[in-house]
């Protein structure tokens, strides 16, 4: 079975307060803090869609959108 891939990692910059929880606990080091103390997804290709950043975000600012599962081949 293919690993789920991240299509988009949306961070609502108006809501993000830059606590760094998502960055610290990301198992694949996808996120970084930018100059404005907001979290950004720098390496989205490494994202495994565990969604722990989304679940642990105290600001409800993160939305991890997974690629739709590949359709099974017709037969």
Chain residues in the site for another protein (CB under 8 A) = 14-15, 17-21, 24-25, 52, 54-61, 63
Nearer to another protein, 5 or 51 (CB): 51
Neighbouring C-beta atoms of residue 39, cutoff 10 Å: 27
Contacts of 47 (CB under 8 A, 6+ apart): 5, 6, 9, 28, 30, 41, 64
Nearer to another protein, 11 or 73 (CB): 11
As measured in angstroms, the least distance from the Cβ of 65 to another protein is 9
As measured in angstroms, the least distance from the Cβ of 47 to another protein is 16
- Coil/strand/helix, residue 26: coil
């Amino acid at each position: 079975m293919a690993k789920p891939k991240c299509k988009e990692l949306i961070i609502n910059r108006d809501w993000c307060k830059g606590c760094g929880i998502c960055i610290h606990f990301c198992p694949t080091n996808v996120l970084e803090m930018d100059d404005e103390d907001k979290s950004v997804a720098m390496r989205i290709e490494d994202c495994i869609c565990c969604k722990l950043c989304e679940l642990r975000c105290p600001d409800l600012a993160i939305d991890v959108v997974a690629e739709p599962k590949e359709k099974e081949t017709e037969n």
